[in-house]
Amino acid sequence: MGIVGIRTAILVVAGLAWCGSVLAGGWEERVFNVEHFGARGDGLTDSTEAFVHAWTAACGARGASASLLVPAAKSFLVGPTKFRGPCAATRITVQVMGTITALPASAWDRQNYWLMFHQVDGLTVTGSGGVLDGRGETWWSNRCRNGDSLVLMNCTNLELSHFSSKNSPQMHIAVIQSSKVNVTQLTITAPGDSPNTDGVHIDRSEDVHITGLTIGTGDDCISIGPGSRFVNIDGIICGPGHGVSVGSLGRHGAMESVEHIDVRNVHFINTMNGARIKTWQGGRGYAKSISFTNINFTNVENPVIIDQFYVDRGVVPNAGAVALSNITYTNLKGTSSRKTAVDFDCSDSGSCRDISVSSVLITASDGRGTEARCRNAQGKTSGYVYPRIPCLS
């Protein structure tokens, strides 16, 4: 054992001693290496128990900070696990330097998540070179049940940065009921035809900042679900995938709200949608103050789309809808693989108001013209806008 090893071991022993006992002082960073709790980085041994024990120790360590270390250049097999807070330290860091690989589908027991952090304040998940491999390929052909790779549930002061996530059974990252969240510099990949493999899903969360992500999956690159407020998305490369979506909202007549969503500097490449808002017929509530700014499209099927008839194609008169207002599109350019580059398909209940569009130039990938389609949308355009949007003044 080298000097570093001895030091780490001492830190671990000190950390274990700390766990559950109150000693004076000790505000230095404590590192809990999963290998010292029995994890084997051979890619074969089930290390779930070791991860749980390492988390329990790290989470119980008092002081300013503690961290759980997943060492580099090794692969750890871990099954569905809930890492519970609250933790004793002010900040707790999960350093994923190596790879964490999910147990295959056959070894799961009805969980709908793989790695869940629950009710942790001050959590950072980071690691250059770190990889979460959800092994979704063991699920995708069997759609009866599956899980999200990384779930952050009821967390505050959360930071996710500098790792990659691939082949999640379902969503790669789900931020649920959380606030003060930074998500930066992640790479998320799954095949374009893998089902429901959203990159990042935000649900009932606020004060969320998502920057510098490269995402290519089989569903939305980023989806913003009900109850989300003050979400900033900046600097995203998306494709393949279904775009950046607000919604879907209002399923089964639900009352739902979303507000202050700012999406900017996004490049969509060969995606099904670009900037999308989707709501179900019959929903209630609102989605307002949503902006899409500086967006590039390369060969996108539906670059700009509002769909108030999500999934359900038959229009039910007077069904009502989640009310959309103050929706702004500024500086959009690029190419559409279909003739309809802008599609505002709104319900008949006057539920799309104050749509503002300025500086748009979206041409067709084949060099031909594009057009806008409108139903029941109200608002205005300014500056050069092509395709012309007839329903806006």
Ligand X SMILES: *[C@@H]1O[C@H](CO)[C@@H](O)[C@H](O)[C@H]1NC(C)=O
What residues line the site for ligand X (CB under 6 A)? 86, 119, 154, 157-159, 180, 182, 209, 265-267, 289, 291, 294, 296, 326, 328
Q: How far is the CB of 282 from ligand X (least distance, A)?
A: 25
36 is catalytic: no
Cβ contacts of 290 within 8 Å, gap of 6 or more: 246, 258, 259, 260, 261, 262, 263, 277, 324, 326, 327, 328
Amino acid, res. 356: S
For 49, list phi and psi in degrees, rounded to 5.
Answer: -60, -45
DSSP string, 146-192: --EEEEEES-EEEEEEEEEEE--SS-SEEEES-EEEEEES-EEE--T
Q: How far is the CB of 190 from ligand X (least distance, A)?
A: 22
Amino acid, res. 300: V
Q: How far is the CB of 259 from ligand X (least distance, A)?
A: 8
- Show the tokens assigned to 365: 């990938």
Amino acid, res. 50: A
Q: How far is the CB of 157 from ligand X (least distance, A)?
A: 4
Task: Give whichever of 66 and 158 is closer to ligand X, judged by the CB atom.
Answer: 158
- Indicate which residue of 162, 172, 242, 267 is catalytic: 242
Q: How far is the CB of 328 from ligand X (least distance, A)?
A: 5
Task: Please give the angle made by the CA atoms of 119, 55 and 108, to the nearest 5 degrees.
Answer: 80
User: Percent helix, strand, coil in the chain (nearest 5)?
Assistant: 10, 55, 35
Give the active site residues: 242
